[in-house]
Structure 1
Amino acid sequence: MTTFASKAIAYYNALAAPANLPPDIGVLNPYPQPAVQAIVNEFYTNFFSDTAPRVFVLGINPGRFGAGVTGISFTTPQNLRRYCGIANDLRDTPELSSRFIYQVVEAFGGAKAFYSQFFLTSLFPLALTKNGPARNGKSGGPKNYNFYDDRVTTEALWPAITETVRTQIDFGCNRSVAVCLGRKNETYLRRLNEQQGFFDRILTLDHPRYILQYKSKDIAMYLDRYMATLHECVESA
């Protein structure tokens, strides 16, 4: 039987970085690494070995300390161990988005319950970077970059973004509703949806990084908003 897991594993393990990006934009592709391939196989086998459709929860593009390391959206090595039960030897990484997302996962009832209903993904599946400004005569190190941070990058990646969502929908998608993470990201997901008609409705939540970076005093309120939206998705499925 072809399952959500088998389709996702084949997709991620075959991902290649695009060749048409501006020269100052880097791409992190962890999927050729044997350790990441093992994680991808175990994660999807554990949580997606069926044909049940999931509600898609779509971020921007992965961070270099989350899926840029593990290959699993919004998931650091330590959160793979702690919440998903997947042992790994990858170095622990700081990732604000992952911290908040796994508060959501736990509030929903844990990884098994959450991933039985939802698929965390992004409009573009690979982490993007750009070197920071030079300081003291030295070039800045790589920083997280969003596909929409400059027009040239957005236009270069738009065909790949379209193909990413189209291909992933075939894994097994509840197309009646999708959840968008990030207010600016919503502009691009709605544009894509107008062009392609992927989803009947789009519900938008503030991005996890924004919440922890700028609204940390209000985490409980944002967690309630997430839970209300996720339960609305399940009830309307």
Structure 2
Amino acid sequence: MIAILQFGGSNCDRDAERALEYLGMDAERVWYEDGLPAETTGVLLPGGFSYGDYLRAGAMAARAPVMEAVRTCADRGVPVLGVCNGAQIGCESGLTPGAFTTNASARFQCEPVFLRVENADTPWTRAYEAGDVLSIPIAHGEGRFEADDDTYDRLVSEDRVLFRYCDADGDVTDAANPNGSRGNVAGVLGERDTVAVLMPHPERATLPELGSTDGQGILRGFETAPARLDGAR
């Protein structure tokens, strides 16, 4: 069962649940105070505004006790995906390096963007080829990825950049960068390739009636899950 972890202020949890169930996966929304069920085989940290984005986006949720269980899952190879606010929580909790900060425009941006697949040899991108261009929407005010030089260079050298913002032809340009992210980075991997965060919303590009199904392959990364994670709580 894929646990969609809810915090106060999560608002994309139902979208994520519907998208995963559309793909034939068993998913359940789980309130953070209840802990992760023992049958957890994947964890999705959904979008929203956990705790009103006080202090920094994702900072308070990242310090909730349940995140220790999420880190245990990640260490055991259980697929963990953070989307938008979930990506901010993932960085704040140390699941992935770097940080997501205020957009260069200093405004909330909600629009479709293009992403170029940088590494197709991961659970989250195995449905694509390197260089494929996906159309997936964003909806964030603090989506600008930042990392110090050493961290950024390590991400690049270890092939841990999953996606970069690009134009329709796959060219990575400043004009195609919606938020000023360093290197046009839209998503990165943790120490294991079963852990990933990204700012665009694949759950909003999964159901055909929403206009794009390009996000389906990302969510299918949960199909790499182990049979069961005992004692997740």
The TM-score bracket by the shorter chain reads 0.3 to 0.5
Q: What TM-score does the superposition give when structure 2 sets the normalisation length?
A: 0.34
Give the structure with the larger helix fraction.
1
Higher-Rg member (1/2): 1
Q: Tell me which protein shows more strand as a share of its residues.
A: 2
TM-score for the superposition, normalised by structure 1: 0.34
